[in-house]
Structure 1
């Protein structure tokens, strides 16, 4: 890993006594290493336990069994898998600049990385579609977005990423035209996956298209919410001359909706845009990005899995109450599944 924080006097290797040749090790010094382990470790813990709480809450409490919440539970499962199968191993690779988990798991790790991260993106896209239908056509929403429709969305969100990652990594199509570079990176202690321009372009479109859909849908949701709020405000003004308090509640609700949608889209863009742009530019510019910049972009994307529980669950009172029930141990009571968490639903 290229860095000015550590300048070793002698060349270090990932495996000093490896007969077939070891990758060069360029670790950080002790202070920055501890900081990075803390930062990355916090993200992994949040992704694992935050998403685990979301899954337990939705699956355990019968009140939360709805098509929308099943989508959120599946999203939490994808983010949970990122936290379990990808982030812990990436922490060591990013900080130590070496891969110590075997060549076989390097392939699985890369496959898990692509599959679960893409599954998370597609779930977010379907959730935005669900919210769009709920806001724009609330009367027929229950008949349009049923449990069956939710299951179809969940199936697509898992099947497409798994098929895509299998096609990329197990056919070797991503290395076509880059065989020499791939061979040069194939040293003991390395886990570098290269992708040619065609597959990088597909990767970018896999990010760009769902992102564009999310932006369009959430923009329309925001506009419709404002129009609905104005109608309610006008109706309140006609029926009650002293409606300052009513207008205040409407304005507060509108600001809350705008804030929630804004945070959702901005957090997603901040997390994924650097990685997607860097990968696209790097493939067409001869892989010139320094390792530490690439790793930073990767961790920005990983952190989206840690933020999703906060954005899609912690904004809602039912989840906060569910956490209290789970942490206090009341979840183990026989009647806890039928508990009334909140009158407010998504």
Structure 2
């Protein structure tokens, strides 16, 4: 999922001055590079620390409620932690320096892990939406439907699909995977596996199927909350109770808007470019591709926090854990 920032108007040199087959390097002004390092490092720290906090809270929480949801969020936070701790740092160096200095073998490993983790995260979000749908529309059957076995199956499917698809596109080594034919054999490049026509099939499996499920699930929950709020406001004679229920409906609506809005904001621009680019002859600037990929990475920072921090018991548990940590320090 990584695309170099080549093709800029800034001064160009080589990734390796002593190699004739070195890839070209774009050298950005020092203040700009330092600003990017500060920005990306902040994103990495927030992603790692946020997902780590969610992981510890869920591991040490004794709350028996929402067990299936907690397991899904826990697994999602592990994927987010790995994205922040393993994928982002190397992508940061490659994006800013416009060269890959970690070797071709690690390039393939890094790209594979990138695809696996992002794909697994997407399907975790999908199954969380399914879990919430069942909890809202079938509350009496929720415990029977969302058993520990069901939760394990959802988590296993999310990771399994990510692994199968990630390794499949790397092992197949498709001829269309490199946007710039020149960089196929130069040293210092590590480029996207979904930069040409393969991106259309990848986008359908990786994005559009999950997003249809998520929008359908949360859309129905959204309209149910709206309808419940209107009915309560119309027929409830107790103004205090009516206002309270309307407030709950409004809070649910806002929560769903944040969940779906963040998801669409992070991933939609990149996949739209990924599909449009082959149609217009791969003329989309690589700098735009790289920027949108980092916006997609932000979902690893936002998603577990959005789901977790809307539970009051999570906030209380986090405060207890953090207070104990600081007291020991």
One fold, TM greater than 0.5?
Answer: yes
Equivalent runs, 1:1-346 vs 2, <5 Å: 1=5, 7-8=10-11, 11-18=12-19, 20-63=20-63, 66-172=67-173, 174-175=174-175, 181-182=180-181, 184-195=183-194, 198-206=197-205, 207-233=207-233, 236-237=236-237, 243-329=238-324
Deviations 1:200-236 (A, max 9, x none): 1221102011101111110101112233334444563
CA distance, structure 2, for counterparts of residue 182 and residue 107 of structure 1:
18
Q: Which region of structure 1 is more displaced relative to structure 2, 128-137 or 24-33? A: 24-33
Count of aligned pairs between the two proteins: 322
Q: Which runs of 5+ in 2 are unaligned?
A: none
Deviations 1:101-160 (A, max 9, x none): 111111011111111001111000000001011111111111111111010000000001
Which protein has the larger Cα radius of gyration, Structure 1 or Structure 2? 1
Work out whether residues 182 and 194 of structure 1, in 8 Å CA contact, stay in contact via their aligned partners in 2: no
Q: Which runs of 5+ in 1 are unaligned?
A: 238-242, 334-346
Q: Which region of structure 1 is more displaced relative to structure 2, 317-326 or 160-169? A: 317-326
Q: CA deviation at 1:2?
A: 5.2
Deviations 1:274-325 (A, max 9, x none): 1111112223433222221111010011001011132111222222222222
CA distance, structure 2, for counterparts of residue 197 and residue 188 of structure 1:
21
Q: CA deviation at 1:13?
A: 1.3
Aligned-residue CA RMSD (Å) = 2.3
Q: CA deviation at 1:191?
A: 0.5
3-state secondary structure, aligned to 1:282 = helix
CA distance, structure 1, for counterparts of residue 254 and residue 115 of structure 2:
30
CA distance, structure 1, for counterparts of residue 64 and residue 197 of structure 2:
43
Work out whether residues 135 and 224 of structure 1, in 8 Å CA contact, stay in contact via their aligned partners in 2: no
Work out whether residues 175 and 182 of structure 1, in 8 Å CA contact, stay in contact via their aligned partners in 2: no
Q: CA deviation at 1:73?
A: 0.5
3-state secondary structure, aligned to 1:114 = helix
CA distance, structure 2, for counterparts of residue 64 and residue 84 of structure 1:
30
Work out whether residues 178 and 193 of structure 2, in 8 Å CA contact, stay in contact via their aligned partners in 1: no
3-state secondary structure, aligned to 2:242 = helix
Using the size of structure 2 for normalisation, the TM-score is 0.90
Using the size of structure 1 for normalisation, the TM-score is 0.86
CA distance, structure 2, for counterparts of residue 179 and residue 266 of structure 1:
31
CA distance, structure 2, for counterparts of residue 201 and residue 58 of structure 1:
37
Work out whether residues 78 and 119 of structure 1, in 8 Å CA contact, stay in contact via their aligned partners in 2: yes
3-state secondary structure, aligned to 1:12 = strand
CA distance, structure 2, for counterparts of residue 150 and residue 113 of structure 1:
24
TM-aligned CA distance change 1:318 to 1:234, over 3 Å: same
Deviations 1:158-196 (A, max 9, x none): 001110111100121x325x6895564331111113447
Larger relative contact order (CA 8 Å, sep ≥ 6): 2
